[in-house]
Amino acid sequence: MLRKELWRRGLRYRVNCKDVYGKPDILFVKAKVAIFCDGDFWHGKDYNENTFARSDNSEFWNNKIIRNMERDRIVDHELSKQGYKVLRFWESDIVKNLNDCCGIVIRVVNQE
């Protein structure tokens, strides 16, 4: 949804850039803006350690989500060191507030 709306508004970008650390979902090369669209579940939105307490594989799922959150922080730090501005959007925020998310991207990209 976010990519489609940004394209509709005339912004051009690269997608899933394997040559950039962390493989951003959307990349504005010239503006050095990396965007990640994070799934609420997989990246730990509103995560607390008891989320999977009743699951058969609670230890596996807790460890997986914690590791994803740690990796997100590492990617953000590394890209920042390389001069990128990093934006992360939760999937639910994109669905509920697409216009606001696009506005943020446009403002950051145009800050060149």
Rounded Cα gap, residues 27 and 45, in angstroms: 23
- What's the whole-number mean pLDDT along residues 9-36? 96
Cα angle for residues 78, 81, 87 (degrees, 5° grid): 70
Q: Does domain 2-109 have CATH number 3.40.960.10?
A: yes
β 14-15/26-28 pair status = antiparallel
- What's the whole-number mean pLDDT along residues 77-96? 97
C-alpha distances (whole Å) from 81 to each of 20, 21, 86, 95 are 13, 11, 11, 30
Rounded Cα gap, residues 2 and 41, in angstroms: 18
Instruction: Evaluate whether 11 touches 105 at the Cβ level (below 8 Å).
Output: yes
Confidence of residue 59 (pLDDT cuts 50, 70, 90): confident
Rounded Cα gap, residues 29 and 56, in angstroms: 44
pLDDT at 105 exceeding the cut of 70: yes
Structure tokens that stand for 18 in this block:
């394997």
Q: What is the pTM of this model?
A: 0.89
Sorted by where each begins, the domain ranges of the chain are: 2-109
pLDDT at residue 51, as a whole number: 62
